[in-house]
Amino acid sequence: MTPEKVLLTSREMERALARIAHEIVERNKGADGVVLVGMRTRGVPLAKRLAAIIEGFESISIPVGALDIGLYRDDIPKSEPANPSHTNIPVGITAKQVILVDDVLYTGRTIRAAMDALVDLGRPKTIQLAVLIDRGHRELPIRADYVGKNIPSSKDEEIRVQLTEIDDADKVVIVNTPETNRMKLERYYESSK
C-alpha cells in the first residue's frame, strides 16, 4: 500500500468550507438567486455542506443540485456507450448565480465539461467555481473563484478527498502513485453508478 500524507483534517476541512460559504455570500451580496451545483461524486456532498453553512448564517434555503458530466467529457472514446445522466437540479438556473462545486481542481477539463452541461440546462447570470482543493497543472484557462486550499503537487501524486457521506471519513490526503488516465476514468464511472 502506498503511504499517504494527510493534507487537511476534518476540522481544517470544516474551516475551509465555512470560509468559502462566507466568501460566496459576500461576493454575491447575499444568498438570493444563488444555486449550488455539486459535481458528481464528491462535489454533491460538499455543495450540501456549503448550503447548510449559508443557511445557518443567512437564514435562507439554498437550492442544491447534482451534475453528471459524463456525456460532456472530452477524454472518453466515442466508441464507448454514454452513461445515463445522474443530473438533478431542483430549480431553473436561468438568470441565477450558479456556484459549481467540486472537490479537486486539476487540469480544468472537468470544469469545462461541467460548464457545457450547465449551459445546456439554461443561461445562468454567472457561473462561479468553488473547489476544496486547487492542485495546479491547468491545461485550460480555468480558475476557481473560491478555494479551500491551494496544494501544489506533482503529476505523479494523487490528491484524494474523503468525505463521511461516501468514505466514512473527512480528510484530504496525497498519495505518490502514478496512475494511468484509463484507471482514473474507470474509478470515476464506478463511483457515478
The pLDDT of residue 86 is 85
Stated as kind and residue range, the H or E segment containing 66 is strand 64-67
Choose the weakest-confidence range: 102-116, 140-154, 171-185. 171-185
Residue with cell 455542506: 49
The larger pLDDT score, comparing residue 13 to residue 75, is at 13
Q: Please name each of the domains of the chain with its CATH number.
A: 11-153 (3.40.50.2020)
Average pLDDT over every residue of 130-149: 96
Distances (CA, A) of 60 to 52, 57, 89, 99, 165: 9, 8, 18, 16, 23
Closest Cα to residue 100, out of 84, 119, 74, 76?
119
Mean pLDDT along residues 117-139: 96
110 in Cβ contact with 76 (< 8 Å): no
The Cα 148–Cα 8 span in angstroms is 10
Q: Rounded to two decimals, what is the model's pTM?
A: 0.87
For residue 185, the model assigns a pLDDT of 61
Q: What is the mean pLDDT of residues 37-48?
A: 96
∠ CA 187-77-188, rounded to 5°? 15
What pLDDT, on a 0 to 100 scale, did the predictor assign at position 4? 87
| Pairing label, strands 171-176, 4-8 | antiparallel
Three-class DSSP category at 117: helix
Average pLDDT taken over every residue of the chain: 89
Grid look-up 448565480 returns 97
Q: According to the model, what pLDDT value does residue 180 have?
A: 47
AA identity, residue 94: T
